[in-house]
Structure 1
Amino acid sequence: MIEDCAGQKNDVLSCPESGKNSCVGSIVERLECSYSNKSERFLLKKRDFNRQYAHIYSVRLMEMRKVAALAARRKWDAVSIRKTVELKVGERCCLIGTLYKKMELKPSILKELSIENNVIPQPLREKYISENDYLILEDEAQRVKLVGNIPSEYLITGLIIAVLGFEDDAGYFAVENYCLCGLPEQEDPTKDQTLLNGEDCFVAIMTGLHFGKKGHDCLQLQMLIDLMTGQLGCMKDHDKIRKVVRIVICGNSLSACTRDKDKESKAKYLTRNTKADSVEAMMHLDECLSQLASSSPVDIMPGENDPCNYQWPQQPLHSCMFPRASAFSTFNNVTNPYEASVAGVRILCTDGRNVNDIFRFSDHAKRIDIAKLTLDGAHIAPSAPDTLGCYPYYDEDPFIIKECPHVYVIGNQPEYQHGVVTGKMGQKVNIVLVPNFSSSGCCVLLNLRTLECQPVMFLSRLEHENNQLYQKE
């Protein structure tokens, strides 16, 4: 017997009384809502790597030039927009192009090859910025160096930008002001929420399960699974958990140690007594996912450490890796990035590699500011393909944000953060930074009706003396 929140006794372990259907009243049904996968543009129909990456920059500028021009005219009224070849010394005008950030500390393959010549390799850094970095604007014809009022430490290569200023006597473009493309139009999230009848509805978001990690604590994950499947908690908890209509796992379900190069080389020659660490980790992951999928729809995204293609967009993990979970129709392998509409709410998710990459090549101290930069730039991964590996697209750039999401989820972050970005036309985007579950025990509940977020902590140890949960008022 257990005790619920009201102090009432519940005979959850006893058999039903004979001749009475005493269990009918205790059945808790999970809510259902509309769902649509919006990630078609991230699926690779064919893979051809015999192409140059210059094409993706050309397509990006061609598709986003009109948007940048509208943003420029909205900010500076009647401004003349010029090409770089049309510049005249001293004439005030606006330029639109692709940013390139010249960084002397940025890693390159030429520096890596210097190791073969017994030259000391470049040390690993948390950030690769320096005082000598500067910005260059490039359009279809040529490029020009930017000087003046433009924060090079906060901007990165690949952004489509409009700059206002004039060409000086030295041939540089003196910037007075600048603007990014901004958020695109946004649909009303309430139009598909008729089935909810005004009731709260949640999406559970977690990331960084890190199976295969040495000393991996499975208890806190099992606590989450038991709560989501109705095997843990009181009746008040069950009433809330039944409103969780979907679970999204944002990458890095396996630990980085399962990708160790020495172990991978040994795994090529498996014997009866040798098995790659990733094999056992996938078995445990499959078992946990099968438990979740038996109770709720589950979407799993690949991440940097998962057995998937490394370049963005990462394709769905193969179903053969999940023999148990794939038996459920509620289990979905999805891409990274991943976009879906749940109860009319458009949710855009990444495993966090786009934000982590920009963090290394900019002076942003807060990662939530980087997420805001990608939204303001209308591009999920502007640093791809410069410092973030991606597929060499020829006639499209799938990372352009053409429809404004309502929620922007960034996985595998150091800590939980939540913020809101408001657009010029009334758009409102909720940004959610989700920390690694293996280290934080944090799962985020997103309310689809109010778009509010609530972190839920699962602690399996009692050593957290400084945790607010254990502090007395």
Structure 2
Amino acid sequence: MTTDSAGVVQRAGASVPKTYEGEDMYQLPKVNREYEKQFASLYTHRLMKLRPRVLAMASAKWTNETINGEKVVRLSKILDIAHQQPCYMVGTVYCDMQFKPNVLKDVSENMYGAPPIVEGNPLDATNRNLRQTSYSNPATDQIALEDESGRVLLSGDIIDNTVFVTGCVFGVLGLELESGVFEVVDVVYPEIAPQVPRSLDHVVPSKIALVSGMSINSSDLDLVKLEILKEYLTGELGNDETRAASAQISKLIIAGDSIQVSQSLIGKDYAANSKSKYKKNHRTNYNAEAVNILDSFLCDVLQSLPVDIMPGENDPAELSLPQQPLHVAFFPKSRQFINTESRHFRPLTNPARLEIDGLHLLGTSGQNINDIFRYVLPNAAASTGTTPTDDDHVESRIGLIEANMYWQNIVPTAPDTLWCYPYQDEDPFTLYETPHVYFVGNMPRFETQETVLHQKSGKEVKVRVIAVPNFSATGEIVLLDTASLACETVKIVG
């Protein structure tokens, strides 16, 4: 904490470079976006980029491995599998799950007025609930590995106890015990991308405030809680100790869902059809009064504190990832602070890469993790390899956030079950650099941990992963120390 000559507490500052690598990684061209392209190129590019990194880890681990006394061999193609020959190979995971969105079914039911497809057996209450919350049915799920040559089903205890989602690139070790089924005894992930070394010599310790899910809704808004949050951030709340603590905040990052869609706009069938990418339930997320309230809130905070804001699922932005920055027209009061020199107010993409005081951050507004969670329910125990409590089955996301770092891809399920732009020559969701901090907004509760990853050489790469809680549900914001990367929460009670 510093004070001026008059004894007034001064706010901590944060240094944001005018430009930094990866800043525009998720920016799409403003014109000539080509949505008619197929998505196969995205999967192909992902496999091509990650395959050498997986093979580097697989070769280091399995080159001298034996199974049943027989030395394993490396296969360049899945189609080369020989019966009962120990081997390892690399491919892209595909999950065949009963309750995943089905384009043919959705189109036939919705666009052409065809009667709903009748299930083989009537769904009981449990399955009807799973249909709304999960893609998975453990009784029928099948996990496969595929490459350019073909596909093979995967089985084994490790498959049952490891999170697999469509789009991840893995290496698997085992052998084919029956035709078309590969018994897996071990898996490897891609080699960890390099991490930029960080020096703390010239860094003045400060805190970055992370908030998500403010859910401003003009028809049902807790203005008291929002006002208290604003006063805390601007240093106008509490005693000297509280004001001194808030003065340590050098930056506010809003990780999506600042706006809550009015229930009257959603419709009664939205919950049941929320997984569908093809039905007509998608609606406008624009609420003029709520956007005006958000603009006034930002304008007041920006008088004292730099702000970065990311769009989220419920904000007035496109549905597909990467979501583009919220338009400046939404912020008639706040846009005066948009300045390329000071970078005081920045509408960002979702996902977004940031650099603050030499700290490299990567963040999303939560759609990627919430979609992955639908793959593991009701198998939530697999998310961390342990047996969680009942609350963990519903609330915990930290294992899935950490898994993004192991997979070296933050949105593997796009475009299979999550909208995304049809990239042709790149996959920006695959990591070329491992961040120091990876945060995900709009999670059910606050969680954090230091994840320690290992490169092929054995070098440790440490990442602080953070589940940022939904503010409207929990009243909590997260404070990240820029020096130690320790996290704490502040609860706002309206």
Give TM-score, length-normalised by structure 1.
0.84
> Which of the residues 67, 74, 77 maps onto 2:53?
67
Q: Residues 193-232 of structure 1: matches in 2 within 5 Å?
A: 193-196=200-203, 199-212=204-217, 214-232=219-237
2:24 aligns with 40
Give per-residue Cα distances to partners, 1:94-133, cap 9 Å, x unaligned: 1101000111222212222236333378854222211211
> Which of the residues 94, 109, 112 maps onto 1:114?
109
Query: What's the secondary structure of 1:150's corresponding residue?
Result: helix
1:27 aligns with 2:8: yes
- Cα distance in 2 for partners of 1:129, 1:182 equals 29
1:348 aligns with 362
2:472 aligns with 438
User: 2:261 touches 2:287 (CA, 8 Å); kept in 1?
Assistant: no
User: 1:200 touches 1:447 (CA, 8 Å); kept in 2?
Assistant: yes
Select between 315-324 and 213-222 the one with higher mean Cα deviation.
213-222
Give per-residue Cα distances to partners, 1:137-183, cap 9 Å, x unaligned: 11122111222243257211100000011233423222121122153
Give the letter for the 2:35 counterpart: F
Q: Residues 385-424 of structure 1: matches in 2 within 5 Å?
A: 385-424=415-454
User: 1:81 touches 1:96 (CA, 8 Å); kept in 2?
Assistant: no
> Which of the residues 337, 342, 348 maps onto 1:334?
348
Larger of the two Rg values belongs to structure: 1
User: 1:254 touches 1:305 (CA, 8 Å); kept in 2?
Assistant: yes
User: 1:162 touches 1:179 (CA, 8 Å); kept in 2?
Assistant: yes
- Cα distance in 2 for partners of 1:223, 1:171 equals 60
User: 1:204 touches 1:248 (CA, 8 Å); kept in 2?
Assistant: yes
Alignment RMSD: 2.3
- Cα distance in 1 for partners of 2:375, 2:133 equals 9
Q: 1:228: how far off?
A: 1.8
Q: 1:308: how far off?
A: 0.7
1:57 aligns with 2:38: no
Give per-residue Cα distances to partners, 1:2-53, cap 9 Å, x unaligned: xxxxxxxxxxxxxxxxxxxxx9513332222322453311001241011101
1:381 aligns with 411
Aligned length in residues? 423
1:370 aligns with 400
Give per-residue Cα distances to partners, 1:220-247, cap 9 Å, x unaligned: 2211211221222222233322221110
Counterparts in 2 of 1:259 and 1:156: CA distance versus 1, 3 Å: farther
Query: What's the secondary structure of 1:304's corresponding residue?
Result: coil
User: 1:182 touches 1:377 (CA, 8 Å); kept in 2?
Assistant: no
Q: Residues 286-325 of structure 1: matches in 2 within 5 Å?
A: 286-325=295-334
1:3 aligns with none
> Which of the residues 245, 248, 252 maps onto 1:243?
248
Give the letter for the 1:158 counterpart: G
Give the letter for the 2:95 counterpart: K
Give the letter for the 1:81 counterpart: R
- Cα distance in 2 for partners of 1:234, 1:401 equals 44
Give TM-score, length-normalised by structure 2.
0.81
% identical aligned pairs:
33
Query: What's the secondary structure of 2:241's corresponding residue?
Result: helix
Structure 1 gaps of 5+ residues are 1-22, 264-274, 461-473
- Cα distance in 1 for partners of 2:227, 2:482 equals 25
User: 2:211 touches 2:477 (CA, 8 Å); kept in 1?
Assistant: yes
Give per-residue Cα distances to partners, 1:396-449, cap 9 Å, x unaligned: 000011211111111111111112211112111111111111121111000011
> Which of the residues 354, 368, 372 maps onto 1:358?
372
1:125 aligns with 132
Give the letter for the 2:364 counterpart: T
Q: 1:214: how far off?
A: 3.9
1:178 aligns with 2:172: no
1:81 aligns with 74
> Which of the residues 87, 91, 100 maps onto 2:85?
91
- Cα distance in 1 for partners of 2:285, 2:308 equals 25
- Cα distance in 2 for partners of 1:292, 1:453 equals 22
2:95 aligns with 101
Query: What's the secondary structure of 1:256's corresponding residue?
Result: coil
1:141 aligns with 149
1:448 aligns with 482
Give the letter for the 2:28 counterpart: L
Select between 381-390 and 358-367 the one with higher mean Cα deviation.
358-367
User: 1:90 touches 1:167 (CA, 8 Å); kept in 2?
Assistant: yes
Give the letter for the 2:170 counterpart: I
- Cα distance in 1 for partners of 2:60, 2:180 equals 28
Give per-residue Cα distances to partners, 1:257-288, cap 9 Å, x unaligned: 2782579xxxxxxxxxxx99700100000000
Select between 381-390 and 86-95 the one with higher mean Cα deviation.
86-95
User: 1:216 touches 1:438 (CA, 8 Å); kept in 2?
Assistant: no
Runs of 4 or more, structure 1, over 6 Å off, are: none
Give the letter for the 1:428 counterpart: K
Q: 1:187: how far off?
A: 2.4
Query: What's the secondary structure of 1:388's corresponding residue?
Result: coil
Q: 1:204: how far off?
A: 0.3
User: 1:212 touches 1:277 (CA, 8 Å); kept in 2?
Assistant: no
Query: What's the secondary structure of 1:245's corresponding residue?
Result: strand
Query: What's the secondary structure of 1:402's corresponding residue?
Result: coil
Give the letter for the 1:359 counterpart: F
Counterparts in 2 of 1:316 and 1:259: CA distance versus 1, 3 Å: farther
Q: Residues 459-470 of structure 1: matches in 2 within 5 Å?
A: 459-460=493-494
- Cα distance in 2 for partners of 1:401, 1:92 equals 31
Give the letter for the 1:176 counterpart: V
User: 2:286 touches 2:315 (CA, 8 Å); kept in 1?
Assistant: no
Counterparts in 2 of 1:195 and 1:135: CA distance versus 1, 3 Å: same
Structure 2 gaps of 5+ residues are 65-71, 120-127, 269-283, 381-392
User: 2:218 touches 2:289 (CA, 8 Å); kept in 1?
Assistant: no
1:164 aligns with 173
- Cα distance in 2 for partners of 1:390, 1:226 equals 37
- Cα distance in 2 for partners of 1:294, 1:75 equals 55
Q: 1:77: how far off?
A: 3.8
- Cα distance in 2 for partners of 1:194, 1:245 equals 18
